[in-house]
Structure 1
Amino acid sequence: MVQLTYYEPTGQAADSLPPEPRWVPAPDDAHTLRHGYNLADIERLARIAVRAARAQAMDYQDRYEAAWYAIVEGIYTAIDAPDPWELKRLGADAVNRLQQDYGHTWGYDRRNPDAGFEGMRGFRKYWELDRRAHRSCEDGVVDRVALWQIWERLSATHQAMLLALAAYEDPVAASAAVGKRYNTFNTHLKNARREFLTLWHEGETPSRFWGKGDRRRGRRSGVQLLVNRRQQRERRALAEVEPKPAKPPRTHCSNGHRLVPDILTAAGRCKACGRDRSALYRAKKRGAAA
Protein backbone atom coordinates (compact mmCIF):
# COMPACT_ATOMS: atom_id res chain seq x y z
CA MET A 1 0.00 0.00 0.00
CA VAL A 2 1.39 3.36 -1.04
CA GLN A 3 0.61 6.46 1.02
CA LEU A 4 0.37 9.70 -0.91
CA THR A 5 1.69 12.83 0.76
CA TYR A 6 0.61 16.30 -0.37
CA TYR A 7 2.71 19.40 0.15
CA GLU A 8 1.68 23.04 0.11
CA PRO A 9 2.82 25.11 -2.87
CA THR A 10 6.29 26.41 -2.51
CA GLY A 11 6.49 29.90 -1.12
CA GLN A 12 2.77 30.33 -0.20
CA ALA A 13 0.08 28.64 1.81
CA ALA A 14 -3.04 27.07 0.27
CA ASP A 15 -5.31 29.66 1.90
CA SER A 16 -3.17 32.58 0.75
CA LEU A 17 -3.77 32.18 -2.99
CA PRO A 18 -4.39 35.44 -4.85
CA PRO A 19 -8.10 36.28 -5.22
CA GLU A 20 -9.83 36.18 -8.56
CA PRO A 21 -9.36 39.35 -10.54
CA ARG A 22 -12.30 41.75 -10.21
CA TRP A 23 -14.09 43.19 -13.16
CA VAL A 24 -12.37 46.34 -14.39
CA PRO A 25 -14.45 48.83 -16.36
CA ALA A 26 -13.40 49.48 -19.91
CA PRO A 27 -11.62 52.75 -20.62
CA ASP A 28 -13.81 55.75 -21.25
CA ASP A 29 -13.44 55.93 -25.01
CA ALA A 30 -15.75 56.05 -27.99
CA HIS A 31 -17.01 52.47 -27.37
CA THR A 32 -17.98 53.05 -23.72
CA LEU A 33 -21.68 53.55 -23.07
CA ARG A 34 -22.03 54.32 -19.35
CA HIS A 35 -20.46 53.31 -16.04
CA GLY A 36 -17.50 51.84 -17.93
CA TYR A 37 -19.52 49.25 -19.91
CA ASN A 38 -19.00 49.03 -23.64
CA LEU A 39 -20.82 47.11 -26.39
CA ALA A 40 -18.57 44.08 -26.03
CA ASP A 41 -19.43 43.82 -22.32
CA ILE A 42 -23.15 44.05 -23.04
CA GLU A 43 -23.00 41.35 -25.71
CA ARG A 44 -21.02 39.06 -23.42
CA LEU A 45 -23.40 39.60 -20.50
CA ALA A 46 -26.43 39.07 -22.78
CA ARG A 47 -25.10 35.69 -23.94
CA ILE A 48 -24.47 34.64 -20.34
CA ALA A 49 -27.98 35.77 -19.32
CA VAL A 50 -29.58 33.77 -22.13
CA ARG A 51 -27.82 30.62 -20.98
CA ALA A 52 -28.67 31.27 -17.32
CA ALA A 53 -32.40 31.86 -17.93
CA ARG A 54 -34.92 29.12 -17.27
CA ALA A 55 -36.75 29.78 -20.53
CA GLN A 56 -35.00 27.88 -23.31
CA ALA A 57 -37.88 27.03 -25.64
CA MET A 58 -38.07 30.19 -27.73
CA ASP A 59 -35.90 31.34 -30.60
CA TYR A 60 -32.37 32.23 -29.52
CA GLN A 61 -32.36 35.57 -31.31
CA ASP A 62 -35.54 36.68 -29.53
CA ARG A 63 -34.13 35.69 -26.14
CA TYR A 64 -30.81 37.42 -26.87
CA GLU A 65 -32.50 40.66 -27.87
CA ALA A 66 -34.68 40.63 -24.73
CA ALA A 67 -31.62 40.15 -22.50
CA TRP A 68 -29.61 42.77 -24.45
CA TYR A 69 -32.26 45.49 -24.11
CA ALA A 70 -32.81 44.69 -20.43
CA ILE A 71 -29.09 45.02 -19.69
CA VAL A 72 -28.81 48.31 -21.58
CA GLU A 73 -31.84 49.67 -19.73
CA GLY A 74 -30.35 48.58 -16.42
CA ILE A 75 -27.07 50.37 -17.18
CA TYR A 76 -28.68 53.65 -18.20
CA THR A 77 -31.22 53.72 -15.34
CA ALA A 78 -28.70 52.90 -12.59
CA ILE A 79 -27.36 55.82 -10.58
CA ASP A 80 -24.21 53.96 -9.51
CA ALA A 81 -22.24 51.49 -11.55
CA PRO A 82 -24.11 48.15 -11.43
CA ASP A 83 -22.26 44.88 -10.87
CA PRO A 84 -22.07 42.40 -13.77
CA TRP A 85 -24.07 39.80 -11.83
CA GLU A 86 -26.92 42.31 -11.41
CA LEU A 87 -26.98 42.91 -15.15
CA LYS A 88 -26.97 39.17 -15.84
CA ARG A 89 -29.93 38.75 -13.50
CA LEU A 90 -31.80 41.54 -15.30
CA GLY A 91 -31.18 39.85 -18.63
CA ALA A 92 -32.24 36.41 -17.41
CA ASP A 93 -35.45 37.84 -15.87
CA ALA A 94 -36.24 39.55 -19.15
CA VAL A 95 -35.88 36.25 -21.03
CA ASN A 96 -38.18 34.46 -18.56
CA ARG A 97 -40.79 37.23 -18.81
CA LEU A 98 -40.63 37.06 -22.59
CA GLN A 99 -41.52 33.38 -22.60
CA GLN A 100 -44.27 33.92 -20.02
CA ASP A 101 -45.80 36.69 -22.13
CA TYR A 102 -45.58 34.50 -25.21
CA GLY A 103 -47.34 31.65 -23.42
CA HIS A 104 -50.01 34.01 -22.07
CA THR A 105 -50.68 35.28 -25.59
CA TRP A 106 -51.34 31.72 -26.75
CA GLY A 107 -53.39 30.74 -23.72
CA TYR A 108 -50.73 28.75 -21.83
CA ASP A 109 -51.70 28.32 -18.19
CA ARG A 110 -48.64 28.15 -15.93
CA ARG A 111 -50.72 26.58 -13.15
CA ASN A 112 -51.87 23.80 -15.47
CA PRO A 113 -49.02 23.10 -17.92
CA ASP A 114 -50.52 19.75 -18.99
CA ALA A 115 -53.36 21.61 -20.73
CA GLY A 116 -50.90 22.99 -23.29
CA PHE A 117 -51.54 26.04 -25.41
CA GLU A 118 -55.08 27.45 -25.52
CA GLY A 119 -55.68 25.69 -22.19
CA MET A 120 -56.06 28.88 -20.17
CA ARG A 121 -59.50 29.42 -18.72
CA GLY A 122 -61.46 31.92 -20.77
CA PHE A 123 -58.89 32.07 -23.61
CA ARG A 124 -61.22 30.82 -26.32
CA LYS A 125 -64.10 32.87 -24.95
CA TYR A 126 -62.02 36.07 -25.07
CA TRP A 127 -60.90 35.65 -28.65
CA GLU A 128 -64.30 34.42 -29.76
CA LEU A 129 -65.91 37.60 -28.42
CA ASP A 130 -63.22 39.68 -30.11
CA ARG A 131 -63.92 37.90 -33.37
CA ARG A 132 -67.63 38.42 -33.06
CA ALA A 133 -67.13 42.15 -32.52
CA HIS A 134 -66.27 42.39 -36.22
CA ARG A 135 -69.22 41.49 -38.40
CA SER A 136 -68.64 38.63 -40.79
CA CYS A 137 -70.87 36.57 -43.06
CA GLU A 138 -69.18 33.33 -41.99
CA ASP A 139 -71.46 32.54 -39.05
CA GLY A 140 -74.61 33.22 -41.04
CA VAL A 141 -73.52 31.05 -43.94
CA VAL A 142 -72.47 28.18 -41.66
CA ASP A 143 -75.72 28.33 -39.68
CA ARG A 144 -77.93 28.32 -42.75
CA VAL A 145 -76.08 25.47 -44.46
CA ALA A 146 -75.99 23.38 -41.26
CA LEU A 147 -79.69 24.07 -40.59
CA TRP A 148 -80.90 22.55 -43.85
CA GLN A 149 -78.44 19.67 -43.65
CA ILE A 150 -79.82 18.77 -40.21
CA TRP A 151 -83.43 19.45 -41.21
CA GLU A 152 -83.35 16.71 -43.83
CA ARG A 153 -82.28 14.18 -41.19
CA LEU A 154 -85.06 15.00 -38.70
CA SER A 155 -88.12 12.79 -38.53
CA ALA A 156 -91.39 13.97 -40.07
CA THR A 157 -93.00 14.32 -36.63
CA HIS A 158 -90.21 16.50 -35.30
CA GLN A 159 -90.28 18.65 -38.42
CA ALA A 160 -94.01 19.21 -37.97
CA MET A 161 -93.60 20.20 -34.30
CA LEU A 162 -90.82 22.69 -35.04
CA LEU A 163 -92.65 24.19 -38.02
CA ALA A 164 -95.82 24.68 -35.99
CA LEU A 165 -93.95 26.39 -33.16
CA ALA A 166 -92.08 28.64 -35.60
CA ALA A 167 -95.34 29.60 -37.37
CA TYR A 168 -97.53 30.30 -34.31
CA GLU A 169 -94.79 31.29 -31.79
CA ASP A 170 -97.01 29.91 -29.03
CA PRO A 171 -97.01 26.29 -27.82
CA VAL A 172 -100.74 26.28 -27.06
CA ALA A 173 -101.70 27.46 -30.54
CA ALA A 174 -99.08 25.21 -32.15
CA SER A 175 -100.35 22.12 -30.34
CA ALA A 176 -103.91 22.89 -31.45
CA ALA A 177 -102.73 23.38 -35.06
CA VAL A 178 -101.09 19.95 -35.26
CA GLY A 179 -103.95 18.26 -33.40
CA LYS A 180 -101.89 17.22 -30.37
CA ARG A 181 -102.55 17.57 -26.68
CA TYR A 182 -100.48 20.26 -24.99
CA ASN A 183 -98.37 17.82 -22.95
CA THR A 184 -97.87 15.52 -25.94
CA PHE A 185 -96.77 18.47 -28.07
CA ASN A 186 -94.22 19.52 -25.45
CA THR A 187 -92.80 15.98 -25.32
CA HIS A 188 -92.39 15.85 -29.11
CA LEU A 189 -90.85 19.33 -29.08
CA LYS A 190 -88.34 18.38 -26.41
CA ASN A 191 -87.29 15.28 -28.35
CA ALA A 192 -86.98 17.31 -31.55
CA ARG A 193 -84.67 19.82 -29.89
CA ARG A 194 -82.55 17.05 -28.41
CA GLU A 195 -82.24 15.35 -31.80
CA PHE A 196 -81.31 18.66 -33.43
CA LEU A 197 -78.54 19.31 -30.86
CA THR A 198 -77.19 15.78 -31.29
CA LEU A 199 -76.87 16.30 -35.04
CA TRP A 200 -75.46 19.80 -34.62
CA HIS A 201 -72.69 18.50 -32.33
CA GLU A 202 -72.20 15.32 -34.35
CA GLY A 203 -69.15 13.48 -33.00
CA GLU A 204 -69.09 15.57 -29.81
CA THR A 205 -71.02 15.73 -26.57
CA PRO A 206 -74.26 17.66 -27.20
CA SER A 207 -74.59 20.89 -25.25
CA ARG A 208 -77.43 21.66 -22.89
CA PHE A 209 -80.43 23.70 -23.96
CA TRP A 210 -79.36 27.34 -23.99
CA GLY A 211 -82.89 28.69 -23.55
CA LYS A 212 -86.31 27.87 -22.20
CA GLY A 213 -89.51 28.01 -24.22
CA ASP A 214 -92.46 30.01 -22.98
CA ARG A 215 -94.91 27.18 -22.24
CA ARG A 216 -97.30 29.01 -19.97
CA ARG A 217 -100.86 28.54 -21.11
CA GLY A 218 -102.09 32.04 -20.40
CA ARG A 219 -99.23 34.47 -20.79
CA ARG A 220 -99.65 37.57 -18.71
CA SER A 221 -99.00 40.98 -20.13
CA GLY A 222 -96.35 43.31 -18.79
CA VAL A 223 -98.99 45.51 -17.17
CA GLN A 224 -100.50 42.54 -15.32
CA LEU A 225 -97.08 41.50 -14.01
CA LEU A 226 -96.42 45.02 -12.71
CA VAL A 227 -99.81 45.09 -10.98
CA ASN A 228 -99.20 41.71 -9.33
CA ARG A 229 -95.76 42.75 -8.08
CA ARG A 230 -97.16 46.02 -6.69
CA GLN A 231 -99.88 44.13 -4.81
CA GLN A 232 -97.30 41.73 -3.39
CA ARG A 233 -95.18 44.63 -2.13
CA GLU A 234 -98.24 46.22 -0.52
CA ARG A 235 -99.18 42.97 1.22
CA ARG A 236 -95.65 42.53 2.55
CA ALA A 237 -95.54 46.12 3.78
CA LEU A 238 -98.94 45.72 5.49
CA ALA A 239 -97.82 42.50 7.16
CA GLU A 240 -94.78 44.27 8.59
CA VAL A 241 -96.84 47.17 9.94
CA GLU A 242 -99.84 45.13 11.21
CA PRO A 243 -98.70 41.61 12.05
CA LYS A 244 -101.37 38.96 12.16
CA PRO A 245 -102.63 38.11 15.63
CA ALA A 246 -101.37 34.85 17.02
CA LYS A 247 -103.84 31.98 16.94
CA PRO A 248 -104.99 30.71 20.34
CA PRO A 249 -103.73 27.25 21.23
CA ARG A 250 -106.00 24.35 20.33
CA THR A 251 -107.89 22.69 23.19
CA HIS A 252 -109.74 20.00 21.19
CA CYS A 253 -109.00 18.04 18.05
CA SER A 254 -111.23 18.00 14.97
CA ASN A 255 -113.25 15.09 16.41
CA GLY A 256 -113.91 16.81 19.73
CA HIS A 257 -111.34 14.99 21.87
CA ARG A 258 -109.74 17.16 24.48
CA LEU A 259 -106.06 17.69 23.83
CA VAL A 260 -104.15 16.90 26.99
CA PRO A 261 -100.49 15.85 27.21
CA ASP A 262 -101.41 12.20 27.86
CA ILE A 263 -103.55 11.95 24.72
CA LEU A 264 -101.02 13.43 22.27
CA THR A 265 -98.34 11.48 20.42
CA ALA A 266 -94.76 12.65 19.99
CA ALA A 267 -95.78 14.16 16.62
CA GLY A 268 -98.68 16.08 18.25
CA ARG A 269 -101.48 13.84 16.97
CA CYS A 270 -104.53 12.72 18.93
CA LYS A 271 -104.28 9.14 20.23
CA ALA A 272 -108.07 8.87 20.67
CA CYS A 273 -108.59 9.59 16.95
CA GLY A 274 -106.05 6.88 16.14
CA ARG A 275 -107.89 4.37 18.31
CA ASP A 276 -111.21 5.27 16.65
CA ARG A 277 -109.74 4.79 13.19
CA SER A 278 -108.27 1.42 14.19
CA ALA A 279 -111.62 0.25 15.63
CA LEU A 280 -113.44 1.34 12.46
CA TYR A 281 -110.93 -0.50 10.29
CA ARG A 282 -111.28 -3.72 12.33
CA ALA A 283 -115.08 -3.50 12.17
CA LYS A 284 -115.02 -3.14 8.38
CA LYS A 285 -112.60 -6.05 8.13
CA ARG A 286 -114.84 -8.31 10.26
CA GLY A 287 -117.89 -7.32 8.21
CA ALA A 288 -116.14 -8.14 4.96
CA ALA A 289 -114.99 -11.50 6.32
CA ALA A 290 -118.56 -12.40 7.42
Structure 2
Amino acid sequence: MQLTYYVAPWDADDAEQPPEEVQARDGLRWGYVAADLDRFTRMALSRQIGLLAFAPAERYEIVWSAVALALYEADRQPAPADLITAGWQAITVAIQTEARHHGRDLIRHKGTTRRSYVMYWDAAAPRHISSPENGIVERLAVDQIWPMLTAGQQEALAALAVHGSVAAAAQALGKSTAAVHVIARAGRLRFKQWWHEGETPSLPWGRDRRRSEPATHCPAGHERTSETSYIKHTMWRGKPKRQIVCRICREERRAGGRS
Protein backbone atom coordinates (compact mmCIF):
# COMPACT_ATOMS: atom_id res chain seq x y z
CA MET A 1 0.00 0.00 0.00
CA GLN A 2 1.38 3.40 -1.00
CA LEU A 3 0.43 6.53 0.93
CA THR A 4 0.92 10.06 -0.40
CA TYR A 5 2.74 11.25 2.71
CA TYR A 6 5.25 8.40 2.73
CA VAL A 7 6.91 6.51 -0.14
CA ALA A 8 8.64 3.23 0.61
CA PRO A 9 10.17 1.33 -2.32
CA TRP A 10 9.86 -1.95 -0.38
CA ASP A 11 6.18 -1.45 0.53
CA ALA A 12 4.84 -4.28 -1.67
CA ASP A 13 4.44 -7.76 -0.21
CA ASP A 14 6.81 -9.36 -2.73
CA ALA A 15 9.41 -6.60 -2.59
CA GLU A 16 12.88 -7.20 -1.25
CA GLN A 17 13.67 -6.00 2.25
CA PRO A 18 15.93 -2.92 2.56
CA PRO A 19 19.65 -3.49 2.95
CA GLU A 20 21.24 -3.66 6.38
CA GLU A 21 22.80 -0.20 6.14
CA VAL A 22 19.36 1.31 5.45
CA GLN A 23 17.78 -0.60 8.34
CA ALA A 24 20.40 0.70 10.76
CA ARG A 25 20.04 4.36 9.76
CA ASP A 26 19.32 6.63 12.75
CA GLY A 27 19.20 3.53 14.93
CA LEU A 28 15.68 2.52 13.76
CA ARG A 29 14.50 -0.62 12.00
CA TRP A 30 13.21 -1.14 8.48
CA GLY A 31 14.57 2.13 7.14
CA TYR A 32 12.39 4.43 9.22
CA VAL A 33 13.89 7.51 10.83
CA ALA A 34 13.03 9.40 14.00
CA ALA A 35 11.05 11.96 12.04
CA ASP A 36 8.81 9.15 10.79
CA LEU A 37 7.87 8.17 14.35
CA ASP A 38 7.04 11.77 15.15
CA ARG A 39 4.88 12.09 12.03
CA PHE A 40 3.06 8.81 12.63
CA THR A 41 2.46 9.79 16.25
CA ARG A 42 0.90 13.11 15.30
CA MET A 43 -1.26 11.46 12.65
CA ALA A 44 -2.53 8.91 15.18
CA LEU A 45 -3.36 11.71 17.61
CA SER A 46 -5.26 13.57 14.90
CA ARG A 47 -7.57 10.56 14.56
CA GLN A 48 -8.48 10.64 18.24
CA ILE A 49 -12.01 11.78 19.02
CA GLY A 50 -14.04 11.99 22.21
CA LEU A 51 -12.72 12.28 25.75
CA LEU A 52 -9.20 13.71 26.22
CA ALA A 53 -8.15 12.04 29.45
CA PHE A 54 -4.47 13.02 29.43
CA ALA A 55 -2.35 16.09 28.96
CA PRO A 56 -1.11 16.64 25.38
CA ALA A 57 2.47 15.66 26.26
CA GLU A 58 1.32 12.46 27.95
CA ARG A 59 -0.89 11.52 25.01
CA TYR A 60 2.06 12.04 22.68
CA GLU A 61 4.28 9.77 24.80
CA ILE A 62 1.67 6.99 24.87
CA VAL A 63 1.22 7.01 21.11
CA TRP A 64 4.94 7.39 20.34
CA SER A 65 5.78 4.42 22.57
CA ALA A 66 3.12 2.29 20.87
CA VAL A 67 4.38 3.22 17.40
CA ALA A 68 7.98 2.44 18.34
CA LEU A 69 6.97 -0.85 19.95
CA ALA A 70 5.01 -1.91 16.87
CA LEU A 71 7.99 -1.01 14.68
CA TYR A 72 10.47 -3.10 16.66
CA GLU A 73 8.10 -6.03 17.17
CA ALA A 74 7.36 -6.39 13.45
CA ASP A 75 8.98 -9.40 11.80
CA ARG A 76 8.83 -7.70 8.40
CA GLN A 77 8.59 -4.20 6.97
CA PRO A 78 5.52 -2.56 8.61
CA ALA A 79 3.42 -0.18 6.57
CA PRO A 80 2.97 3.39 7.84
CA ALA A 81 -0.77 2.74 8.21
CA ASP A 82 -0.03 -0.19 10.53
CA LEU A 83 2.14 1.96 12.78
CA ILE A 84 -0.42 4.76 12.83
CA THR A 85 -3.17 2.30 13.72
CA ALA A 86 -1.06 0.85 16.54
CA GLY A 87 -0.63 4.30 18.03
CA TRP A 88 -4.30 5.19 17.66
CA GLN A 89 -5.39 1.94 19.31
CA ALA A 90 -2.97 2.49 22.19
CA ILE A 91 -4.31 5.94 23.05
CA THR A 92 -7.89 4.69 22.70
CA VAL A 93 -7.31 1.83 25.16
CA ALA A 94 -5.46 4.14 27.55
CA ILE A 95 -8.31 6.65 27.56
CA GLN A 96 -10.92 3.93 28.11
CA THR A 97 -8.92 2.50 31.01
CA GLU A 98 -8.42 5.92 32.58
CA ALA A 99 -12.11 6.73 32.21
CA ARG A 100 -13.15 3.44 33.80
CA HIS A 101 -10.82 3.99 36.76
CA HIS A 102 -12.40 7.40 37.31
CA GLY A 103 -15.98 6.18 36.93
CA ARG A 104 -16.70 7.65 33.49
CA ASP A 105 -19.19 5.71 31.38
CA LEU A 106 -18.13 5.60 27.72
CA ILE A 107 -20.41 2.77 26.58
CA ARG A 108 -24.06 2.97 27.66
CA HIS A 109 -24.52 6.55 28.87
CA LYS A 110 -21.54 8.44 27.51
CA GLY A 111 -20.25 11.29 29.62
CA THR A 112 -22.00 10.18 32.82
CA THR A 113 -20.70 8.50 35.95
CA ARG A 114 -20.90 4.71 36.07
CA ARG A 115 -23.45 3.36 38.53
CA SER A 116 -21.04 0.82 39.98
CA TYR A 117 -18.56 3.63 40.67
CA VAL A 118 -21.18 5.66 42.54
CA MET A 119 -22.37 2.60 44.46
CA TYR A 120 -18.83 1.84 45.63
CA TRP A 121 -17.63 5.30 46.56
CA ASP A 122 -20.95 6.50 48.03
CA ALA A 123 -21.85 3.28 49.85
CA ALA A 124 -18.85 1.01 50.44
CA ALA A 125 -16.08 3.54 50.88
CA PRO A 126 -17.65 5.41 53.83
CA ARG A 127 -17.46 2.19 55.84
CA HIS A 128 -13.68 2.41 55.77
CA ILE A 129 -13.28 6.08 56.62
CA SER A 130 -13.71 7.89 59.91
CA SER A 131 -16.21 10.54 58.78
CA PRO A 132 -19.73 9.90 60.19
CA GLU A 133 -21.31 12.45 57.85
CA ASN A 134 -23.40 10.08 55.72
CA GLY A 135 -24.88 8.26 58.70
CA ILE A 136 -25.77 11.51 60.45
CA VAL A 137 -27.37 12.97 57.32
CA GLU A 138 -29.44 9.84 56.74
CA ARG A 139 -30.69 9.65 60.33
CA LEU A 140 -31.61 13.32 60.38
CA ALA A 141 -33.37 12.96 57.04
CA VAL A 142 -35.44 10.02 58.27
CA ASP A 143 -36.48 11.91 61.40
CA GLN A 144 -37.48 14.95 59.33
CA ILE A 145 -39.20 13.20 56.41
CA TRP A 146 -40.95 10.37 58.25
CA PRO A 147 -43.68 12.65 59.70
CA MET A 148 -44.40 13.86 56.14
CA LEU A 149 -45.68 10.40 55.17
CA THR A 150 -49.25 9.31 55.74
CA ALA A 151 -50.10 6.91 58.54
CA GLY A 152 -50.76 4.12 56.03
CA GLN A 153 -47.42 4.68 54.30
CA GLN A 154 -45.59 4.65 57.62
CA GLU A 155 -47.34 1.43 58.60
CA ALA A 156 -46.56 -0.30 55.30
CA LEU A 157 -42.91 0.76 55.21
CA ALA A 158 -42.35 -0.18 58.85
CA ALA A 159 -43.89 -3.62 58.31
CA LEU A 160 -41.83 -4.11 55.17
CA ALA A 161 -38.64 -3.20 57.03
CA VAL A 162 -39.43 -5.61 59.87
CA HIS A 163 -40.64 -8.61 57.86
CA GLY A 164 -38.44 -8.20 54.77
CA SER A 165 -41.01 -9.07 52.08
CA VAL A 166 -44.27 -7.65 50.80
CA ALA A 167 -46.09 -10.93 51.37
CA ALA A 168 -45.00 -11.18 55.01
CA ALA A 169 -45.79 -7.52 55.63
CA ALA A 170 -49.25 -7.93 54.08
CA GLN A 171 -49.95 -10.94 56.27
CA ALA A 172 -48.86 -9.06 59.39
CA LEU A 173 -51.05 -6.07 58.52
CA GLY A 174 -54.01 -8.17 57.43
CA LYS A 175 -54.05 -6.60 53.97
CA SER A 176 -53.62 -7.89 50.46
CA THR A 177 -50.18 -8.07 48.89
CA ALA A 178 -51.22 -5.69 46.12
CA ALA A 179 -52.46 -3.10 48.62
CA VAL A 180 -49.25 -3.16 50.65
CA HIS A 181 -47.17 -2.94 47.48
CA VAL A 182 -49.06 0.14 46.26
CA ILE A 183 -48.93 1.89 49.63
CA ALA A 184 -45.23 1.15 50.15
CA ARG A 185 -44.39 2.36 46.65
CA ALA A 186 -46.28 5.60 47.23
CA GLY A 187 -44.41 6.05 50.50
CA ARG A 188 -41.04 5.57 48.82
CA LEU A 189 -41.89 8.10 46.12
CA ARG A 190 -43.08 10.62 48.69
CA PHE A 191 -39.92 10.10 50.74
CA LYS A 192 -37.77 10.65 47.65
CA GLN A 193 -39.61 13.85 46.78
CA TRP A 194 -38.91 15.28 50.21
CA TRP A 195 -35.31 14.03 50.12
CA HIS A 196 -34.78 15.93 46.84
CA GLU A 197 -36.82 18.91 48.00
CA GLY A 198 -36.53 21.64 45.39
CA GLU A 199 -34.89 19.29 42.87
CA THR A 200 -36.06 16.69 40.38
CA PRO A 201 -35.93 13.22 42.00
CA SER A 202 -33.66 10.74 40.24
CA LEU A 203 -35.12 7.67 38.60
CA PRO A 204 -34.69 4.26 40.30
CA TRP A 205 -31.40 2.62 39.38
CA GLY A 206 -32.40 -0.99 39.96
CA ARG A 207 -35.39 -3.16 40.50
CA ASP A 208 -36.84 -5.09 43.39
CA ARG A 209 -35.72 -8.66 42.81
CA ARG A 210 -37.29 -10.14 45.92
CA ARG A 211 -39.44 -13.15 45.11
CA SER A 212 -42.23 -14.75 47.04
CA GLU A 213 -42.19 -18.42 47.92
CA PRO A 214 -43.14 -20.65 44.96
CA ALA A 215 -46.72 -21.86 44.96
CA THR A 216 -47.15 -25.40 46.28
CA HIS A 217 -50.42 -26.00 44.38
CA CYS A 218 -51.60 -25.22 40.87
CA PRO A 219 -54.57 -22.85 40.31
CA ALA A 220 -56.90 -25.89 40.33
CA GLY A 221 -55.65 -26.98 43.76
CA HIS A 222 -53.44 -29.92 42.76
CA GLU A 223 -50.22 -30.28 44.74
CA ARG A 224 -47.09 -29.53 42.75
CA THR A 225 -44.50 -32.31 42.93
CA SER A 226 -41.95 -33.73 40.53
CA GLU A 227 -44.51 -36.39 39.53
CA THR A 228 -47.52 -34.12 39.08
CA SER A 229 -45.89 -31.14 37.34
CA TYR A 230 -43.07 -30.21 34.98
CA ILE A 231 -41.44 -27.07 33.61
CA LYS A 232 -42.20 -26.04 30.04
CA HIS A 233 -39.87 -23.61 28.27
CA THR A 234 -41.49 -21.48 25.58
CA MET A 235 -40.99 -18.16 23.82
CA TRP A 236 -43.29 -15.17 24.34
CA ARG A 237 -42.84 -12.04 22.24
CA GLY A 238 -39.28 -13.01 21.45
CA LYS A 239 -38.32 -13.68 25.07
CA PRO A 240 -37.91 -17.04 26.85
CA LYS A 241 -40.73 -17.95 29.21
CA ARG A 242 -40.73 -20.56 31.97
CA GLN A 243 -44.09 -22.15 32.74
CA ILE A 244 -45.02 -24.80 35.30
CA VAL A 245 -47.52 -27.28 33.83
CA CYS A 246 -49.74 -29.46 36.00
CA ARG A 247 -49.94 -33.02 34.61
CA ILE A 248 -53.27 -33.67 36.35
CA CYS A 249 -54.89 -30.58 34.81
CA ARG A 250 -53.49 -31.51 31.42
CA GLU A 251 -54.95 -35.03 31.61
CA GLU A 252 -58.31 -33.65 32.74
CA ARG A 253 -58.40 -31.28 29.76
CA ARG A 254 -57.54 -34.11 27.40
CA ALA A 255 -60.22 -36.35 28.92
CA GLY A 256 -62.77 -33.58 28.60
CA GLY A 257 -61.84 -33.09 24.96
CA ARG A 258 -62.25 -36.80 24.16
CA SER A 259 -65.63 -36.95 25.83
The alignment's TM-score, normalised by the length of structure 1, stands at 0.47
Residue type of the alignment partner of 2:228: R
Tell me the equivalent position of 1:149.
144
Question: How far apart are the structure 2 equivalents of 1:153 and 1:56?
Answer: 46
Question: How far apart are the structure 2 equivalents of 1:233 and 1:65?
Answer: 67
Question: How far apart are the structure 2 equivalents of 1:94 and 1:163?
Answer: 52
Residue type of the alignment partner of 1:73: L
Residue type of the alignment partner of 2:57: Q
Contact 1:46 1:68 in 2 (8 A): yes
Written as runs of structure 1 = structure 2, the 5 A alignment for 1:1-290 is 28=24, 31-51=26-46, 53-55=47-49, 58=52, 59-99=55-95, 101-102=97-98, 106-109=104-107, 116-118=110-112, 123-124=114-115, 126-131=116-121, 132-134=123-125, 136=127, 139-154=134-149, 157=151, 161=155, 165=159, 190=184, 192=187, 195-202=190-197, 203-205=199-201, 210=208, 231-233=223-225, 236=228, 243=251, 246=255
Q: Secondary structure at the match of 2:41?
A: helix
Q: Secondary structure at the match of 1:35?
A: coil
Contact 1:67 1:91 in 2 (8 A): yes
Residue type of the alignment partner of 2:111: F
Question: How far apart are the structure 1 equivalents of 2:84 and 2:257?
Answer: 86
Greater strand fraction, Structure 1 or Structure 2: 2
**Distance verdict in 2 for CA 1:55–1:163, change over 3 Å:** closer
Residue type of the alignment partner of 1:70: A
1:173-192 C-alpha deviation (Å, 9 max, x unpaired): 667xxxxxx68x96995565
Q: Secondary structure at the match of 2:84?
A: helix
Quote the offset at 1:64 in angstroms.
1.3
Query: Unaligned 5+ residue runs, structure 1?
Result: 1-19, 176-181, 215-221, 251-290
Select the structure with the greater relative contact order (CA < 8 A; seq sep ≥ 6): 2
Structure 1 vs Structure 2 CA RMSD? 5.2
Residue type of the alignment partner of 2:56: Y
Residue type of the alignment partner of 2:74: A
Question: How far apart are the structure 2 equivalents of 1:37 and 1:90?
Answer: 16
Contact 1:55 1:95 in 2 (8 A): no
Tell me the equivalent position of 2:233.
none
Contact 1:67 1:92 in 2 (8 A): yes
Question: How far apart are the structure 2 equivalents of 1:246 and 1:49?
Answer: 75
Contact 1:74 1:87 in 2 (8 A): yes
Q: Secondary structure at the match of 2:225?
A: helix
Contact 1:26 1:38 in 2 (8 A): no
Quote the sequence identity (%). Answer: 22
Quote the offset at 1:117 in angstroms.
0.6
**Distance verdict in 2 for CA 1:99–1:149, change over 3 Å:** same
Question: How far apart are the structure 1 equivalents of 2:41 and 2:161?
Answer: 71
Contact 2:41 2:84 in 1 (8 A): yes
The alignment's TM-score, normalised by the length of structure 2, stands at 0.51
Tell which structure's C-alpha radius of gyration is larger. 1
1:26-46 C-alpha deviation (Å, 9 max, x unpaired): 6737x5133344545433432
Residue type of the alignment partner of 2:117: W
Residue type of the alignment partner of 1:151: W
Contact 2:153 2:183 in 1 (8 A): no
